Amino acid sequence: MTATAQDIAAAAQALREGELVAFPTETVYGLGADATNDQAVARVYAAKGRPAFNPLIAHVASSDAAFELGEFGPEAQALARAFWPGPLSLVVPRTADCKVSLLASAGLDSIAIRVPAHPTALALLAAAGRPVVAPSANPSGRISPTTAEHVRRHLRDRVAVVLDGGRCSVGVESTVVSLLDGGPKLLRHGGVPRAAIEKVLGHSIPAETHAARPHGPGQLLSHYAPHAELRLNAEAPRAGEAYLGFGPLHAHGSWTLSASGDLVEAAANLFRLLHDIDATGVACIAVAPVPHRGLGEAINDRLLRAAAPREPA
Ligand code: TXA
Ligand code: MG
């Protein structure tokens, strides 16, 4: 049954309350959450299973809403004008006051944004009145869903609402183009052909897609790291270190990922706390052991990357 105006209003309310909503776009169904709510974003990663903090696309109802979240130079603006609403996601620098959770950006200072073309998606985004992050609504390792039935089969018990918008007309994910320093790059092939993008820009663009990348998934993101050194699995801080705990605050710890030892809360806090502690100018952050289950696997993965020896600039 195609979603009614009433279904959409209820779904928007669920989003505002921090719940997950699966909704149709013209590419594939998305697993949506309030992009400004750290905990809701953390729940998206948990719901995907075998979670990894890959950065998520923020969906908005209009280009004007997009311009509040990201810095759009002339080329980004040209692509937005040409292809939005539509199956194109643009990676741009976050604005200084970008309200999207740092967890959704996986700690990067860039953000992927898309205005989808599906009427149900646009109505939902307008009603929610805020950006909505949405990875494809498939459990990890399964193909992306192009009908509401696909979503119900795999994720029904993990979402508050599944909005039905029929079969997705495009059926493959959006094309992802990065517009950071160094010029446009194609990060993922998708619904908008590369040639159409190059035609708008008036020049060819290099591809840095998974297949073209030499070192496999995650490589692109390994440059995220705080300025401070990280010392992992630390039971307590040494002199001069800041301590990022897991569980109740110790006398020596000014920060904790989750006072109650909750991994969803810890994920929600991870990147924000690393930023906050880094901003104090401390030379080393000692991080408590984090249990390696549920979202703990993704948390430990990001911590390991952040602690890895830095590549020379
Ligand atoms: O068609 C689509 O794009 C669907 C629908 C629901 O909109 N969404 C989707 O999301 O495919 P997801 O999470 O499955 O894929 C997002 C892609 C990933 O390849 C991710 O690495 C990239 O976008 N991405 C997101 N933010 C990024 C960033 N700041 N820098 C580089 N890549 C980013
Ligand atoms: Mg996906």
Q: Which two structure tokens, joined as six digits, stand for 94?
A: 């976050």
Is 223's pLDDT higher than 70? no
Which ligand has an atom closest to residue 144 CA? Answer: 2
CA of 22 to the centre of ligand 2 (A): 13
Measure Cα distances from 261 to 30, 244, 295 in Å: 29, 13, 12
Q: Is 202 left (phi over 0), alpha (psi -120 to 50) or beta?
A: left
Name which residue leads in pLDDT, 253 or 307.
307
CB-based neighbours (< 5 A) of ligand 2, an ion: 136
Does 86 contact ligand 1 (Cβ within 6 A)? no
- DSSP E strands: which ranges in 63-192? 88-93, 110-114, 132-133, 161-162, 175-178, 185-188
Is 218's pLDDT higher than 60? no
Does 175 contact ligand 1 (Cβ within 6 A)? no
Task: Give the mutation target among 57, 60, 114, 224 for probing the ligand 1 site: most ligand atoms within 8 A of CB.
Answer: 57
Residues of 286-311 as b/e, b for ≥16 C-beta within 10 angstroms?
Answer: bbbebeeebbbbbbbebbebbbeeee
Name which residue leads in pLDDT, 118 or 303.
118
Asked whether 242 and 254 are in contact (CB, 8 A), the reply is yes
pLDDT single digits (tens) 153-197:
889 899 999 999 999 998 889 999 999 988 999 999 889 989 999
Does 28 contact ligand 1 (Cβ within 6 A)? yes
Distance CA(247)–CA(166), nearest Å, equals: 45
Closest ligand 1 atom, CA of 220? 31
Residue showing tokens 């967890």? 103
Choose among 33, 18, 38, 36: nearest CA to 273.
Answer: 38
Is 51's pLDDT higher than 80? no
Distance CA(115)–CA(4), nearest Å, equals: 21
Please tell me the predicted confidence (pLDDT) of residue 144.
86
CA of 203 to the centre of ligand 1 (A): 24
In this prediction, residues 218-226 reach a mean pLDDT of: 53
Rounded-to-10 torsion of CA 109, 177, 121, 150: -100
At 220 the three-state DSSP class reads helix
Residues of 48-63 as b/e, b for ≥16 C-beta within 10 angstroms?
Answer: beebbbebbbbbbbee
pLDDT single digits (tens) 283-299:
999 999 999 988 998 88
In this prediction, residues 226-243 reach a mean pLDDT of: 93
CA of 199 to the centre of ligand 1 (A): 23
At 221 the three-state DSSP class reads helix
Q: Check whether the bond before 131 is cis (ω within 30° of 0).
A: no
Does 93 contact ligand 1 (Cβ within 6 A)? no
Is 94's pLDDT higher than 90? yes
Name which residue leads in pLDDT, 60 or 300.
60
Does 113 contact ligand 1 (Cβ within 6 A)? no
Name which residue leads in pLDDT, 120 or 309.
120
Is 220's pLDDT higher than 80? no
pLDDT single digits (tens) 120-133:
999 999 999 999 99
Please tell me the predicted confidence (pLDDT) of residue 52.
81
Phi, psi (deg, nearest 5) at residue 199: -65, -45
At 175 the three-state DSSP class reads strand
